[in-house]
Chain A
Amino acid sequence: MTPILQVKDLRTRFKVRKRFVYAVNGVSFSVNPGETLGIVGESGCGKSVTMMSILQLLPPSAEIEGGEILFHGQNMLGMKTDQLRKIRGSKISMIFQDPMTSLNPVVNIGTQLSEPLIYHRKYSKSDALDYSADLLDMVGVTDSHDRLKDFPYQLSGGMRQRVMIAMALACQPELIIADEPTTALDVTIQAQIVDLIKQLKKEIGMVMVWITHDLGLIAGLADRILVMYAGYIVEEASVDEIYEDPRHPYTLALIKAVPSIKRDDSQRLYTIGGSPPDLAIRPDFCPFLPRCSYAQDICRKQNPALSTVPDSKHSNHRIACWIDIRNENSK
């Protein structure tokens, strides 16, 4: 199975007041046909910057230091802007977190939806509008023809996110990157959007990368999960393995720290001491070391590389940790 997208050793940094902030530090992963890849991590772990680096939608202060981003074998880094424009919105599209600010407030929905169709697919204006109405139907917006004339302020948050999804789907892209698309929404609206995405996944075989900090949400959506911490991937495994057999101390702690509506609540909530690290320093030790309860001498000496877990049932379970936490737990 050839992956659609392959990211190899991606490194992105920001220049902030003559200092560098290292946001992404050598991240490698691939996205395969038919799957939904979840990227999980807390704020500042580099999950959004990784995705923005792929589409090169970074602010001017950012700089991609190195690495390769192969889309169907073609390196996207070093592409000219017009080459990139043929991919953005057409072959790879994005759903942003905040539907309130990612739509243009002075342009009606119809015009915004038909723009990529006219630009990439060379539709005529009236065909594009007709197709836009179909798209709105598909994402569950009622009275779609009337809605085309509406402006974003006339729609609720959930409706706007549906419009964003319709826009991302417009050119039938091969890959959709969703950056916390439901974080700004209420749970009942989130459930509507998640239902919609699942249904679209089944109907049109959508390939997705879903960025989130919500471990509950991603459990029901993803096939495979990457856990990020301080700009590194610390664990990669199938969704079942991540929750049943997490091998990195950070993943384990993160899962235990989530209060769930189904969990026994008599015990104290598990906490991870300390706070996320300062990204201005690229450490030569494990970045999770100061907060890790399993830390040993070797962790102070060298930053572990992401490598396959030897005794795992599946070959694609990878962690970046020196310690076998199962041995430690059984001691």
Chain B
Amino acid sequence: MNYQVDNPLIQVNHLTKHFPVRLGAYGQQSATVHAVDDVSFKIEKGETLGLVGESGCGKSTTGLNLLQLYKPTQGSVIYLGEDLTKKKESDLRPIRKKLQIIFQDPYSTLNPRMTIGTAIVDPMIAHKTYSKKEACERMVKLLKDVGLSPDYANRYPHEFSGGQRQRICIARALALEPEFIVCDEPVSSLDVSVQAQIINLLKDLQEKYQLTYLFIAHDLGVVRYISDRVAVMYLGKLAELAPKDQIFNNPLHPYTEALLSAVPVPNPKEERKRKRIVLADDVPSSINPPSGCRFHPRCPIAFEPCSQIVPEWREVNSRQFVACHAFK
């Protein structure tokens, strides 16, 4: 572990994001998607916080809200003692240098008509952190950092494979010397052999540049590998947050347990012995989330208060947070 405890880089307090939508054939009904609801956590300096959950649970929305790419409906995001949600866009610009993002799909996030060299140099020019000449020198260094040859600088994105494009996106995110990077499913569109390369690269760069990551993913194997702590999200709310060994060896929330048991293990003998907790039904709609604990309709241990009272988010064991009535 190379991060310090209780030295948060980013603090998220009661973050809420609702999207208004219009339903019905003519959009006559208005409704609200409760994408993220009252989520609080800290990201320590130098750590990787994994954020997992199924599609539509609000993990990407949380990441985008952190960076103020969405304006949160409620709540605050504290970075270096300042609340980012209160800032004007013009005041945010210098801070944006330090907070970067790597997206899931390296095909659609690179401009097809821009050489990759320009794509990496551009942010440095726009933010005026380097002169053009210095920016080009730095670009060469960045390409080397991510394992690409500097000769590629004049090529266009279509000439690269998925894994190479993801390396370019990483180089671009690093161009402004960020402190914090949101990695929004950076390896889920890649093949296993390439995925392993990118994960190792992200780990190496973290060590080299003392980066802090919020690593969003749905693959728990990848998350176990890269994270220091893991947060589990379900339908817009955090279910559990703990150091990774606790999450994987001693999960408290029944959803975490079910999620872990649903992940197949690449070992046929173990796979035959394993007992699975198979959750019934689908994830409910976030337009009309269930009352009380949002997990209660699918929860194997749900009891009386679960359908009425929203469980409190609290620290149960040391540094293990959980929102569940079963743990007092």
CB < 8 Å neighbour of A262 from B267, B268, B282: B267
The count of A-to-B residue pairs whose CB atoms sit within 8 angstroms is: 128
Q: Does A265 contact B (CB under 8 A)?
A: yes
Determine the distance from Cα of A254 to Cα of B222 in the docked complex, in whole angstroms: 15
Which B residue sits closest to A193, measured CB to CB? B278
* In the complex with contacts A240-B268, A259-B196, A188-B225 CB distance below 8 A: no
Q: Does B117 contact A (CB under 8 A)?
A: no
Which residues between 108 and 153 of chain A lie within 8 Å of chain B, taking CB atoms?
none
Scoring B residues 256 to 277 as 1 if CB is less than 8 Å from chain A, else 0, what string do you get? 0011111111111111101010
- Chain B contacts for A192, CB-based, 8 A: 278-280
Scoring A residues 208 to 222 as 1 if CB is less than 8 Å from chain B, else 0, what string do you get? 000001111101100
CB < 8 Å neighbour of B218 from A186, A191, A276: A186
Which residues between 155 and 192 of chain A lie within 8 Å of chain B, taking CB atoms?
156, 158-159, 186-192
Determine the distance from Cα of A74 to Cα of B265 in the docked complex, in whole angstroms: 39
Determine if A272 and B193 form an interchain contact, defined as CB atoms under 8 angstroms apart. yes
- Chain B contacts for A204, CB-based, 8 A: none
Which residues between 227 and 261 of chain B lie within 8 Å of chain A, taking CB atoms?
244, 248, 258-261
Determine if B264 and A217 form an interchain contact, defined as CB atoms under 8 angstroms apart. yes
- Chain B contacts for A189, CB-based, 8 A: 54, 282
* In the complex with contacts A275-B163, A275-B194, A259-B279 CB distance below 8 A: no
Q: Shortest CB–CB separation between residue A141 and chain B, in angstroms? A: 11
Q: Shortest CB–CB separation between residue A270 and chain B, in angstroms? A: 6
Determine the distance from Cα of A45 to Cα of B195 in the docked complex, in whole angstroms: 16
Q: Does A268 contact B (CB under 8 A)?
A: yes
Q: Does B304 contact A (CB under 8 A)?
A: no
* In the complex with contacts A186-B55, A189-B282, A254-B193, A259-B224 CB distance below 8 A: yes
Q: Shortest CB–CB separation between residue B257 and chain A, in angstroms? A: 11
Q: Does B148 contact A (CB under 8 A)?
A: no
Determine if B200 and A268 form an interchain contact, defined as CB atoms under 8 angstroms apart. yes
Q: Does A255 contact B (CB under 8 A)?
A: yes
- Main secondary structure, interface of B, reads helix
- Chain A contacts for B220, CB-based, 8 A: 187, 261
Q: Shortest CB–CB separation between residue B275 and chain A, in angstroms? A: 12
* Chain B interface extent, by class: 35 or more
Determine the distance from Cα of A184 to Cα of B274 in the docked complex, in whole angstroms: 24
Q: Does B221 contact A (CB under 8 A)?
A: yes
- Chain B contacts for A260, CB-based, 8 A: 221, 224, 265-267
Which B residue sits closest to A142, measured CB to CB? B281
Which B residue sits closest to A223, measured CB to CB? B268
* In the complex with contacts A257-B193, A260-B266, A272-B193, A216-B259 CB distance below 8 A: no
Determine if A275 and B164 form an interchain contact, defined as CB atoms under 8 angstroms apart. yes
Determine if A271 and B282 form an interchain contact, defined as CB atoms under 8 angstroms apart. no
Q: Does B161 contact A (CB under 8 A)?
A: yes
Q: Does B199 contact A (CB under 8 A)?
A: yes
Scoring A residues 240 to 276 as 1 if CB is less than 8 Å from chain B, else 0, what string do you get? 1001000000000111011111110100111111011
Determine the distance from Cα of A259 to Cα of B217 in the docked complex, in whole angstroms: 13
Q: Return the 9 tightest CB-CB contacts between A and B, nearest first.
A: A220-B271, A216-B264, A191-B262, A272-B193, A259-B221, A42-B191, A186-B54, A259-B225, A257-B196
19 more A-B residue pairs beyond the given contacts A243-B268, A257-B193, A268-B203, with a C-beta to C-beta distance below 8 A: A156-B282, A187-B263, A188-B283, A190-B262, A191-B276, A192-B280, A195-B276, A195-B278, A213-B191, A213-B192, A219-B264, A219-B265, A220-B274, A243-B266, A260-B265, A261-B263, A262-B265, A269-B196, A271-B200
